[in-house]
Chain A
């Protein structure tokens, strides 16, 4: 492929329109280590959400209809 004119994937270009640049700019202000710390915080939050969702579903199932 000619390096001067790389192939442009229209699907990738379409996705670009929906990307929140403010999040990316905020991340770029952090160090790589701070970015991975934030990822782990997000993982912890996702696990907590899953746990809470499971608990809520269990309660719902236990309720009389």
Chain B
């Protein structure tokens, strides 16, 4: 099980700049669907790479699904050379995304976020309309049912 409060606490505790996207953002907006991991878009700059490294290093981050024993090193250089990381940690699974289809990078998503107070932490999350837009842009068949639910939530709010 993913310990969402602990993961969010680790990120916020090191002042990582991130935006909640994906299933947890959908849950925060009212979705009833089950999700297993925390998806975040992080700001790509050296200062944030350092914060991300420090935030997750104590929780043994490793590439999710990779065989054990790979020479994976969680540090600023690794983050700078990569973009999207699907990780498993002692606190659960987290996807760190440098950018997302239909939304782009952190700076482009920022105007389409809301601030949620979660477990005593102020977290930015994609707003519902943008969440729908990026899921549509991703074009994955598995998202179609989720999009239908998010659009119903939007209609319920408007109604």
Contact = CB atoms under 8 A, between A and B. Distances in A.
B148 A44 contact: no
A35 B151 contact: no
B32 A27 contact: yes
A57 interface: no
Contacts of B5: 36
Contacts of A25: 156
Nearest to A35: B27
A40 B3 CA distance: 8
A12 B151 contact: yes
Contacts of B110: none
Interface residues on B, range: 20 to 34
A11 interface: yes
B28 A35 contact: yes
A60 interface: no
B156 A35 contact: no
Contacts of B28: 32, 35-36
Given A35-B27, A39-B24, A23 B32 contact: yes
Interface in A1-47: 9, 11-16, 19-21, 23-25, 27-28, 30, 32-33, 35-36, 39-40, 42-44, 46-47
Contact of A24 (B3, B30, B144): B30
Contact of B34 (A21, A30, A42): A42
A38 B151 CA distance: 21
Nearest to A28: B30
Contact of B153 (A11, A12, A15, A24): A24
B140 to A, nearest CB: 12
B42 to A, nearest CB: 19
Contacts of B148: 12-16, 19
A41 B17 CA distance: 27
Interface stretch (B47-55, B62-70, B115-123): B115-123
Contacts of B149: 15, 19, 24
